[in-house]
Amino acid sequence: MKLNSSLKVQFIGSTHAPLVLASVEPIFSEEYDSLTVFNIVDGQVKIEKSSWQNFGDVSSWLTSDVFGLTAARSLEAEKAIQKAFDAIDRADMDPKMIMLIHGELREVLKDSDPFWPRWLYYAEKKGVLR
């Protein structure tokens, strides 16, 4: 059923929005298109029109204001890395806690993640990994 045959309206809603947004960059038109962001704030849906900007690849979209991540990783990986950074900043970390954090990192980071060299250096320096 058409609401009005003269209208040419298209709406794209996506849970994989970084991929969609990176793919749309070459054809996005400020004249016809818009980027609307839905966020949950205090249990309520907040709707904001966002200004369009090309960010290039998906990683750059994930770390843009649109998504607000600090890195192109899962939220679980971000939390585990933050826990690891907190451990690195403490001089009195218990070796058992270092091993627990290491296990969490293993669950959420791929072997080639750029965080590994930093963490492995720290854990080896603390005598936990050899």
> Can you give the pLDDT at residue 13?
75
- The C-alpha angle 118, 120, 124, rounded to 5 degrees, equals 125
> Can you give the pLDDT at residue 55?
94
The domain locations on the chain are 1-72, 75-125
Query: Along the chain (130 residues), what's the average pLDDT of each consecutive run of 10 residues?
Result: 65 78 91 88 92 92 88 90 95 93 96 95 90
Whole-model pTM: value is 0.65
Helix (H) or strand (E) holding 49: strand 44-50
> Can you give the pLDDT at residue 3?
57
